[in-house]
Amino acid sequence: MAGDKLCLAIDASGKLNAVSADDVKHFAEAGIRVLADSEIGPPHNADMFGRYAGDARVALAPTSTAQVSQVLSYCNERQIGVVVQGGNTGVPGGALCQRGEVLLCLSDMKKVRHVDPVAGVLVADAGCVLADLDDHVQQLGYIMPLDLGSRRRCMIGGNVSTSAGGLRYLRYGSMHGNVLGVEAVLPDGRILDALFTLKKDTSGYDVKQLFIGAEGTLGVVTAVAIALAPKPQATQLAVLGLGAFDKIEQAFVRARQGLGEILSAFEFWDRRCDEIVVESMHYPSLLKSAHEFYVLIETRGSLMRHDAEKMSAFLDALHADGLVDESCVLSAPDAMDAAWMFRSNMAAAHARRGCMYVYDFSLPSQHKPSLLGAVKGHLSSLGLYGAADSPVLDVTIFGHIGDDNIHLQVIAREFGGAVEAAIEPWIYSWVGSHGGSVAAEHGLGAHKGQFLKYSKSAAVIDTMKDLKRLLDPRGIMNPGKHICQA
């Protein structure tokens, strides 16, 4: 930043101080790279879908854990807010400055520290890009145990800090299981070396878990040790067209039996999602006919001949029992890439269609089928949806059926106003009262903390607040977001 600009660093509680020109001078003199004004543009001050705006005017790019420690120690002492940013691919605005905090960009911390080729464990700096890490470990016969649509931009520190889920959670599981160790800098600058690299450890409380999904509110994750998955020898996809939501769940139960250990993804989307991707992205639809619902199944195994036989038997049984109306199997790399591209760009396609409210819920099996109808009914009853000139253009769902995780999109002509007032907090209340989570894999970010009460008990929220106060007593980390709103 230019030396004479000052940020108005005021958090919700009014206790944080403004960053002064002297502070910036201090960082620069300490050898910490201060981003030039020209570098702090939309990549650092806007979310992917344009719902949140950031106001960062001071951004630092440390190159080491020691530098992160210096910054935090200094900011804690002076009670200056700090927002941590990795690839800035988060959906709910958690990595954006909104109160003039210092933005801490971790993109210059991108060293692979170590790979154990026998145990299958990677240790990497927080700023390593997920796809780069995957490329790196593939040469050694492994893959990263997670995959996201934003793989080419998101960073492993952010993946851990948001407890990222994604496309193959069904197979490889949660970051809480796969992350073996974390190196974090506490708000007071102390370096917490919990960078354990072994699979089993029951020596005391698993303190690294605190940082998995904390969205930068308890400290800065500077390095990660993660258990890798063996690289599959054979991959195939199947695309299904189905006539009703309940058939998706029946097909899923069948897939878990018939495809068993080779099942690696089970994604679904509805008819309107399919149309929006075709319209907005100009991709061809993956099936010949139109269907009420689509499913994308992936298998990853060690022998294609076996996997193809299992897939064939599975699909034959689905067709024989009338669960599926059309299907195709893809095994050519280009065709599989195209199918994943179709699925991965679903949110981006919606964002091109209009102003996107994107929600990310977990729901119990019995309530998943009702969500879409409930939202459409609610908006229709308020006169906001259903006519050619309605303020809401589309309501769609897609997601990860095996993870109980549904993404709901409401596409409006504009943000705010009657539409927003109609959806929130109504939608969070609906999800909470049906036993769901208001944030399945996107996190709380900039404004969902206030809706936490719909899905978490008071004792749980109190414990979260206690943890925040314990680790960040001055409230400098990602102030005003996440649990601060609850």
Residues 6+ apart with CB under 8 A from 313: 258
How large is the angle between the packed helices 346-353 and 271-281, nearest 10 degrees? Answer: 70
What are the tokens at 172?
């490889």
Residues in the chain: 486
Identify which of residues 192 and 324 has a Cβ nearer to its own copies in the complex: 192
> In the window 68-87, what residues touch its own copies (CB under 8 A)?
none
Classify burial at 309, counting beta carbons within 10 Å of its beta carbon; exposed 0-12, middle 13-18, buried 19 or more.
exposed
How many angstroms separate the CA atoms of 290 and 269, rounded?
A: 12
Among positions 17, 64, 79, 209, the unique one binding its own copies when judged by CB under 8 A: 209
Identify which of residues 13 and 463 has a Cβ nearer to its own copies in the complex: 463
Nearest partner of 444 among 468, 422, 421, judged by Cα: 468
Q: To the nearest whole angstrom, how small is the minimum distance from the Cβ of residue 481 to its own copies?
A: 11
How many angstroms separate the CA atoms of 320 and 317, rounded?
A: 5
> In the window 5-64, what residues touch its own copies (CB under 8 A)?
none
Q: To the nearest whole angstrom, how small is the minimum distance from the Cβ of residue 212 to its own copies?
A: 7
Q: To the nearest whole angstrom, how small is the minimum distance from the Cβ of residue 394 to its own copies?
A: 24
The answer to whether residue 66 forms part of the interface with its own copies (CB under 8 A) is no
> In the window 112-141, what residues touch its own copies (CB under 8 A)?
116, 118-120, 141
Identify which of residues 100 and 216 has a Cβ nearer to its own copies in the complex: 216
Q: To the nearest whole angstrom, how small is the minimum distance from the Cβ of residue 440 to its own copies?
A: 4
What are the tokens at 143?
């893959």
Question: Rounded to a whole number, what is the largest CA-CA distance in the chain?
Answer: 73
How many angstroms separate the CA atoms of 372 and 385, rounded?
A: 13
Q: To the nearest whole angstrom, how small is the minimum distance from the Cβ of residue 318 to its own copies?
A: 16
CA 399 to chain centre: 13
Q: To the nearest whole angstrom, how small is the minimum distance from the Cβ of residue 187 to its own copies?
A: 12
In the numeric block, the tokens 């790196």 are attached to 136
Among positions 2, 4, 203, 333, the unique one binding its own copies when judged by CB under 8 A: 203
Per-residue binding letters, 437-466, with its own copies (x by CB under 8 A): xxxxxxxx---xx--x--xxx-xxx-xx-x
Identify which of residues 254 and 319 has a Cβ nearer to its own copies in the complex: 254
> In the window 371-410, what residues touch its own copies (CB under 8 A)?
400, 402-405
Following CA atoms 380, 382, 384, 390 in sequence, which dihedral angle do they give, to the nearest 10 degrees?
A: 80
Q: Does residue 397 contact residue 269 with C-beta atoms inside 8 Å? A: yes
> In the window 298-357, what residues touch its own copies (CB under 8 A)?
300-303, 306, 309-310
Number of residues that bind its own copies (CB under 8 A): 96
Q: To the nearest whole angstrom, how small is the minimum distance from the Cβ of residue 57 to its own copies?
A: 29
Identify which of residues 37 and 261 has a Cβ nearer to its own copies in the complex: 261
Q: Does residue 278 contact residue 334 with C-beta atoms inside 8 Å? A: no
Q: To the nearest whole angstrom, how small is the minimum distance from the Cβ of residue 207 to its own copies?
A: 5
Classify burial at 174, counting beta carbons within 10 Å of its beta carbon; exposed 0-12, middle 13-18, buried 19 or more.
middle
Per-residue binding letters, 275-294, with its own copies (x by CB under 8 A): --------------------
Nearest partner of 125 among 143, 105, 107, judged by Cα: 107
Per-residue binding letters, 231-250, with its own copies (x by CB under 8 A): -xx---------------x-
Among positions 15, 25, 152, 199, the unique one binding its own copies when judged by CB under 8 A: 199
Task: Report the 10 Å Cβ neighbour count for 448.
Answer: 23
Residue 283 DSSP one-character state:
P
Identify which of residues 37 and 321 has a Cβ nearer to its own copies in the complex: 321
> In the window 248-267, what residues touch its own copies (CB under 8 A)?
249, 252-253, 256-262
How many angstroms separate the CA atoms of 437 and 431, rounded?
A: 7
Q: To the nearest whole angstrom, how small is the minimum distance from the Cβ of residue 231 to its own copies?
A: 9
Q: To the nearest whole angstrom, how small is the minimum distance from the Cβ of residue 266 to its own copies?
A: 12
Following CA atoms 241, 244, 248, 251 in sequence, which dihedral angle do they give, to the nearest 10 degrees?
A: -80
